[in-house]
Structure 1
C-alpha cells in the first residue's frame, strides 16, 4: 500500500530542510531567506503532524470497537493495512508530544510578548528610544503598541555618535519588520518537530542580517554598521555584568549562541556579510527563487501526506463494503 511508504516521507523531509537552512541563510537576501525558512518550517511541521495523525488513525481503525462504531470490518482493515499497531501507538504518542510542545511554546511566547508589550507601555517618556541606567552594554527592540528601543547607558558609553546611529537603525528595523513574529513562529515549528531546530536557528540569524541591511541602507554605510556590531560585541564580551535580555525581544547582538566547533558564530558572520558587497536583489535570487523553492519542497510533502490520507480513506471504504 502507498500508505506505508508515503506517510513516512513528511516525517523525513524536515531533515534535508534542516541541513539546507544555514546555506540558504548565507546565500539568499536575508529578507527573503527569513520568509522562506519560516514558511517552510511551519508547513513542514504541520505536514509532519498530519502524517503522524494518519499513522495514529490507521492503528485505531484496526480495532474492533472502532469498526462497530464506524461501520466497517476491522478484520478487512487488518488484512490490507500494512501499518502495524506498534507503529500507530508510537505515532500517536509522538503526535501528542508534538501538540504538547507546540501548546507549551505558544503559551510561553504569548506570555513573553504580552509582558514585553506591558514593559514597553510602562517605560518613561513618549520617545521611541529609552535609555536605562545599566552598566551592561546592551540595546534591544521591545515589541509593543507602540514598540520601544531600549538602550543601556553602558552601550552608549561603548559607542560613538555614528555607531549609535547604526545601532538605533538596527533596532528600529526589528520593530518595523516585526522580526519577533518570525522568530516565534520558527521556534513553534521547531518545538513541534525537533528536526527543524536548525531552521529556527537560521531564522534567528536572518532577522539580524535583515536588520543589519536595513540599518546599512538608512545609514548609507555598510562598514559603519559592521563597526557598530563589532564594537558592541567587544564591549559586551569585556563586561562582567550579567545580561538580562527578556525572552521576546531582539537585540543588536541577537540571542547568545555558541559557535559549533570551529565554525564562526553569528556575530562574526554578520560582520563579514556587512563588509562584503550587499546581497543581490535580482528577482531570481529573491521572491521568485523563494516562492519556487518553497512551492516545490512543501508541495511534494503535501502530496505525500494527502496521498497517504486518501489511501487510508480508500481502505475504509473497502472495509465498509465487507
Structure 2
C-alpha cells in the first residue's frame, strides 16, 4: 500500500496535463469518449486513494480501534503514512465529496431548467423557430430535446448554411452530449486538477458536432462558413447553459474544418488505456493491502487479549485464539 496508494494520484496529475492536449489532436468522437473515461476513472481513483490514506489515520483513533477490534500499536507499526499526509488526504477527501454534492445539485437544477425550457418552447416538433431578432441557435436537452433557432439567426445564413447549423445542433442531441458535459463538471468538482479536461471536452463536443454536420451536408467548407457566420452574428449573445454551434474556440474549429479530417491515432488511446488500467490495478492493490493490514491488526488484538485472558492459567492455547478470532468476525490463517 505504501507505493500503490499513490499511483492513482500520480496518474490523475499526468492525465490532467496530457489528456486535454492529446484530445484536441484526435478525431473528436473517440477523443470525447476517451476524455470521459479518463475523467471518470481518474476521479474515482483520486477519491479512492484519498479515502485509503485518510483511513490509515482514522483507524488509529482508540475509539475507532475498539469498535473495529484491532490493535492500534500493530496498525501503527505497519502503517508508513505520516500524520501530515493523513490530514491533507482527509481534508482533500472531505472537500471533494462536498464539492461533488454541490455540483450534483447544480446538475439536477440544470436538467430541470432544460426540461422546463423545452416545455415552454412553442410547438411540438424537434425544431422551434422563435420570432426574435437576436441571432441565437442552441440545443436544449430533454425528453425529447429541442433545437431552438431565432429568426434573427436564420436571416444571417443562407439555406445550405441553415442546414449545416441544424445538423450541428441535431448531432448534439442525438449523441447526448449534455451527459458528457455533466460528467466532466462532476469530476472537475471532485478534483480541480481535472478542469482542463472539462474545457477540452467542451471543444471536442463542438468538433464532434461539426464533423457530423459535415458528413450530413457533404461539405466541410460549408460547415466552417456556417459556424463562422453564426458565431459572428451571435457574438453579443452568450448562452453558457446550452449546447450551441457558436460555442467553443470557433477559430480553431473553423481551421479544423478547412483542413482534412483528423487521422486516426491509436498510440495516444493505447497509452491512455494503459494508464487507466494501472490506476485501477493500483487502487485495487492498495485496497487489498489495507484490508490485510487491518486483518493482521485484528489478529494481533486477539493474540493480546488471549494472552491477557490466559495469564493466570498459562500460555494461550490455539483454541482460545481461534475462538477470539471467530468472535471478532475474522479467521486466523
The equivalent residue for 2:96 is 98
Say whether residues 1:317 and 2:310 are aligned partners: no
Contact 2:115 2:141 in 1 (8 A): yes
Structure 1, residues 220-253: CA drift from partner, whole Å, max 9, x if none? Answer: 010000001111122223x4xx53x262x20111
Matched-pair contact (CA < 8 Å) for 1:25–1:205 = no
Residues 146-155 or 83-92, more deviating: 83-92
- Whether contact under 8 Å (2:156, 2:229) holds in the other structure is yes
Name the CA distance, whole Å, in 2 between partners of 1:128 and 1:308. Answer: 50
Gaps of 5+ in 1: 256-265
Which residue in the other structure is 1:278 paired with? 261
The 5-angstrom pairing of residues 164-203 of structure 1 reads 164-203=162-201
The Cα offsets for residues 100-148 of structure 1, whole Å up to 9 and x where unpaired, read as: 1111111111111122122112311122111223333221001111111
Equivalent position to 2:4, from 3, 6, 31: 6
Quote the residue 1:220 is aligned against.
218
Equivalent residue for 1:301? 279
1:36 aligned partner: 34
- 1:59-138 equivalent positions in 2, closer than 5 A: 59-138=57-136
Q: Distance in 1 between matches of 2:262 and 2:275?
A: 24
User: How many residues end up aligned between the 2 structures?
Assistant: 300
Does the CA-based 8 Å contact 1:121-1:144 persist in structure 2? no
- In the superposition, the TM-score normalised over structure 2's length comes to 0.85
What displacement does 1:24 show?
2.0
Distance (whole Å) between structure 1 residues aligned to residue 153 and residue 19 of structure 2 = 32
Cα offsets for 1:35-64 (capped at 9, x unmatched):
010111011001110001001110011122
Aligned match of 1:260: none
CA shift, 1:79, in A, is 2.0
C-alpha separation between the residues in 2 aligned to 1:61 and 1:118?
Answer: 47
- 241, 244, 252: which one aligns with 1:269: 252
- Is residue 2:149 matched to residue 1:156? no
Partner SS for 1:28: coil
- Distance in 2, matches of 1:22 and 1:11, equals 17
In 2, Cα distance between equivalents of 1:185 and 1:210: 17
Answer whether contact 1:66 1:74 (CA < 8 A) is retained: no
CA apart distance, 1:82: 1.2
TM-score by length of 1: 0.88
Asked whether the equivalents of residues 25 and 206 of structure 1 are also in contact (C-alpha less than 8 Å), the reply is yes
Question: Please, which moves more after superposition, 122-131 or 30-39?
Answer: 122-131
Q: Which residue of 2 aligns with 1:254?
A: 247
Tell whether the 8 Å contact from 2:234 to 2:246 is kept in structure 1 after alignment: no
Unaligned runs of 5+ in 2: 301-333
Q: Quick one: distance in 1 between partners of 2:90 and 2:21? A: 34
| Native 8 Å contact 1:138 1:252 kept in 2 | no
SS of corresponding position for 1:321 = helix
> CA RMSD of the aligned region, Å?
1.8
Are the equivalent residues in 1 in contact too, given 2:8–2:283 (CA < 8 A)?
A: yes
